Amino acid sequence: MKRSLQIKAALIVVLAIWAGINLWPTLQLSRMSAAKEKALASTPEGLTKLDKLHSHAIKRGLDLQGGMYLVLDVDQSTVEKGTSEDAIKRTLEILRNRIDQFGVSEPDVRREGTSRIIVQLPGLQDAERAKRLIGKTARLEFRMVREGADVTSLLARLDRVLATSGSLPDSVESALDKESELSASDSTAADSSSTKMAQAASDSSKGDLLSDLGGKDEESTGEVGDWEKEHPLTSLMGPFLKNRGALPVSEANKPRVDALLHTPEAQRIMPRDVEWLWGSEQLTGNDGRPAFLLYLVDKKVELTGGEVRNAGVSPDPDRPPLLMVNLGFSRRGGIKFANVTGANVGRKLGIVLDDVVISAPNIRQRIPNGSAVISGGFERDTEARDLALMLRAGALPADVKIAEERTVGPSLGRDSIKQGVNAAILGFIVVVLFIILYYRMAGVLATFGLFVTLLLLMGLLAQLHLTLTLPGIAGIILTVGMAVDANVLIFERIREELRAGKTVRASIDAGYANATRTIVDANITTFIAAVVLYYFGTGPIKGFAVTLSIGILTSMFSALIFTRTVYDFWLQGRTPRKLSI
Amino acid sequence: MQFLTDKHIDFLGKKKIAATISMLLILAGVVSLIVKHGPLLSIDFRGGSIVELRITPAPEVSKVRSALAEGGIKVSQVTTFGGPQEVLIYVDKLDESEAVTGEHQTVQGVVAKALPDHQVELRREETVGPKIGEELRKGATNAIFVSLILIVLYITFRFVFNFGLAAVLTLVHDVLITLGLFSLMNKEISLSIVAAFLTIIGYSLNDTIVVFDRIRENMRLRRKESYEDVVNRSINETLSRTIITSLTTVFVAFILYLIGGAVIHDFAFALTVGIVVGTYSSIYVSSPLVILWYKWRSSDRKRGKRGALA
């Protein structure tokens, strides 16, 4: 046997064994039933074994196993100058912290570029909750709420300024137009007994808290009375609610109130030390219409979430079965909290999360023990739990925006695998039948070549810890189609040489020699396209580029080295007259 | 089994018919692209949000639409996707702050509430912000241009410049036809379609190079023959291979199109069309372009004097 032949044969055997070893964990996992996997996971040794298998198996992309892919933009405008690097590092850390506590297996949180963070959560069940948990800054602040004369005198001044400023700014006008269009149907349905603010500003009990929300959105007559003209702002609200420390505003009026408060005229007369903030709680008025609370809150922050040592949930005794969040302050925070509560007995302490008031309890007495409760009337248990979780993990040093999101439900992932694998198997069968029919024994050889191509391709995927995505499967299927090409080029050349009257041995030699150059040239150009695709592509597309480019390499190997070696073996000590091709 | 051997088909003789067909195909696509103000971009490139729900039993799309309207979710389009149970909802661009806090009512929640006797399952949700959309658009355009340039360079290095030029013009031809077809059929161009285009580029080139390689070889071997004869002979000699390879590749692309699932349906469609067009163009477009160049460069000179090509 020729030495070069021996080396080639050895190379092929070694590569095949190497690929087999690499693929073993993947094979074992794919053959393992769910029940067996569970049984294994129940014992510690089994679990380590399972983890080891998983870490060596080909990873499935989020589009195949289901999960969430998020690109977050760290809002540089919310970061102090010169600290953005630090802010991003801390954001990463806090996000990791939150996600760890959320409990997702194998989450991936990493930084991309200067101000982006990529979060990948495989096998996620509740996408909306995860988004809330990740996207929230969770900046908790304790700030005093203004009441009484502070509010009414400011409102009176705002009314005066807004009334005299004449025409409303465009933004408000358009908001009004849009609003009147949208509410056209329900404004006729609503009762016309719109009481005005001037009338009975009595301290309403909680039951009929919102019987009076101001009447401007009920203007079915289309006429604007004098009273509304003189009170453009307060006519949109109900009377100040002493027990809540806030002004009720119907949902329909909320955008208008917001727009009015943000006009330059209104901004100009706002005192420097206070601001208007909305409450998170959605209330329901007697007439069933939703409403929100508007608070006048000190800008001065008495205490931040940074002073929170630990946070948990417990049942809210006043509002079963709802939960409340319990806070434990640090030593310093506890002292501060005691001082603040001591100095402000009888007032309301606003608990502000990301510029939204989640509750504003009355301070009945000084609270010395360094703990507090947030009973924001969380609608769902998860809301309270998530708030506690975020307070434990800490606030993000900068706001983040979700710039891109791709979520795949687990059932779609399963379907994709099934369909992808079916397409691959059917494609493989069709191609193999076709080439065996067309090239006979040579076709059988090419089929073995195809197996080698796929074996090496999958082996490389496992070895390089690459992720298999749905486009990746498409790339493999395409490889099956294209891998045949190199064989076809060779076989057609050999046929040509045979037709020209050469011997079998000479035809094979010439066929391979002539086809090699063509194969290399043709594949390198496809390879160029695949590499470019890899560099520009994101997520799943990268998976396609990877399998396509690896497929090109392995199919070249199988055609130029594997099938050639088989022919060389066959020709050893033999001078065949005919070649089945 | 063998077919298409030594057929001696006069491909170049039909170059006028081929040119007419190509022109018509490109023109139809280009007119559609102009009328529709460019290709129909998916949310990958223009930003936006889609939600795919599986609703069992299959709902009436109009009911889903009205449920969303009542729930205050503004949608631009609601269609079924791959089956009557799969509903694809194009959500109008959300306010960025809304997208972050996720406090808006979820599409799934609203639909589930409105259709209490149905099971509503989230299949897929994709949101692309306008900034990322623009970046992806730039990235995709760059990727196509960069790969075209690299390919011209490689072919110029391996062959001669005019082969490279002819190859790239052929690729532009292939992509224009596929792009035009997508526009005519109102199919969206997404990231995966761009990936399909790049694959078509690579694949069509593969075909073209095999023919070019044979032309180069025959030009060296048969110096006495005219350009037309050499090119025709080369196409005929490689025809069997061109057809076989195209068939096997088109088989798998078509299988992917048929049973690969709704998510890669359009991707597989682009591949199938692209491979067919690429095969046609490697025979009828790229080789005539090479001849055209030689005729233009050496209008009255005999080929024999110019010697070998590469």
- CB of A74 closer than 8 Å to CB of A418: no
User: What is the gyration radius of the CA atoms in chain B, in angstroms?
Assistant: 25
**Secondary structure letter of residue A54 according to DSSP:** H
Whose tokens are 């971009």? That residue is B41
pLDDT surpasses 70 at B199: yes
User: What pLDDT does B76 receive?
Assistant: 83
Return the structure tokens found at A242: 């002493």
Write out residues 135-154 of A within 8 Å (CB-CB) of B. 135-136
pLDDT surpasses 90 at B177: yes
Q: How far apart are CA A473 and CA B270, in angstroms?
A: 16
Instruction: Identify the three-state secondary structure at position A74.
Output: strand
Of B2, B131, B255, the CB nearest to A403: B131
The string of pLDDT tens digits covering residues B232-275 is 999 998 898 888 888 888 988 999 899 988 888 899 999 999 99
- CB of A488 closer than 8 Å to CB of A47: no
User: What pLDDT does A168 receive?
Assistant: 53
Of A435, A471, A523, the CB nearest to B195: A471
C-alpha to C-alpha distances, A362 to A146, A208, A359, A556, nearest whole angstrom: 12, 20, 10, 77
User: What pLDDT does A503 receive?
Assistant: 92
**Which uninterrupted H or E stretch holds A256?**
helix A254-261
Spatial CA neighbour of A175 closest among A121, A118, A252, A244: A252
Of B101, B109, B198, the CB nearest to A136: B101
- A409·B213 Cβ contact <8 A: no
User: What pLDDT does B23 receive?
Assistant: 94
**B16/A contact by beta carbon, under 8 A:** no
Report residue A345: phi and psi, to 5°.
-60, 135
Return the structure tokens found at A495: 């046929």
Of B1, B201, B249, the CB nearest to A481: B249
Which domains are seen in chain B, by residue range?
Answer: 12-41+132-306 (1.20.1640.10), 48-128 (3.30.70.100)
- B253·A540 Cβ contact <8 A: no
Q: How far apart are CA A504 and CA A498, in angstroms?
A: 7
The string of pLDDT tens digits covering residues B36-94 is 998 999 988 888 889 999 998 888 889 888 888 887 778 888 988 888 899 999 987 65
DSSP of A311-364: EEEEE-SSSTT-EEEEEEE-HHHHHHHHHHHHHTTTSEEEEEETTEEEE--B--
Instruction: Say how far residue B173 (Cα) sits from the centre of its chain.
Output: 11
CB atoms within 10 A of CB B5: 13
- A402 → chain B, closest CA residue: B100
Name residue A70's beta-bridge partners: A119, A405
- B191·A541 Cβ contact <8 A: yes
- A523 → chain B, closest CA residue: B206
% of chain B at pLDDT higher than 90? 25
Q: How far apart are CA A537 and CA B196, in angstroms?
A: 12
**B201/A contact by beta carbon, under 8 A:** yes
Mean pLDDT, 10 residues at a time, over chain A (581 residues)? Answer: 84 93 88 80 83 84 88 83 81 88 83 88 82 85 91 89 66 45 35 33 39 48 65 84 87 85 87 91 77 92 88 83 87 91 91 89 87 77 83 85 88 88 90 92 93 93 88 83 86 91 92 90 84 77 86 92 92 84 83
Q: How far apart are CA A20 and CA A27, in angstroms?
A: 10
Spatial CA neighbour of A311 closest among A386, A383, A366, A254: A386
To test the contact with chain A by mutation, choose from B81, B100, B271 the residue with the greatest count of A C-beta atoms within 10 A, namely B100
Spatial CA neighbour of A551 closest among A467, A465, A504, A484: A484
- B210·A518 Cβ contact <8 A: yes
Q: How far apart are CA B1 and CA A438, in angstroms?
A: 5
User: What pLDDT does B298 receive?
Assistant: 67
- B153 → chain A, closest CA residue: A525
Write out residues 510-529 of A within 8 Å (CB-CB) of B. 514, 517-518, 521-529
**B237/A contact by beta carbon, under 8 A:** yes
pLDDT surpasses 90 at B182: yes
Residue type for A297, please? V
The string of pLDDT tens digits covering residues B142-176 is 888 888 888 888 888 888 888 888 988 998 899 89
Of A402, A437, A478, the CB nearest to B252: A478
Which domains are seen in chain A, by residue range?
Answer: 3-40+410-571 (1.20.1640.10), 67-135+378-408 (3.30.70.3400), 158-185+202-218+225-374 (no CATH)
User: What pLDDT does A372 receive?
Assistant: 85
State the alpha helices, DSSP H only, in chain B.
15-35, 43-46, 61-70, 96-101, 107-114, 130-158, 161-184, 191-221, 227-259, 265-284, 286-297, 303-306
Task: Give the distance from residue A420's alpha carbon to the nearest chain B alpha carbon, in angstroms.
Answer: 5
User: What pLDDT does B5 receive?
Assistant: 61
CA dihedral A108, A109, A115, A116 (to 10 degrees): 40
Q: How far apart are CA A161 and CA A366, in angstroms?
A: 40
Across all residues in chain B, what is the average pLDDT? 84
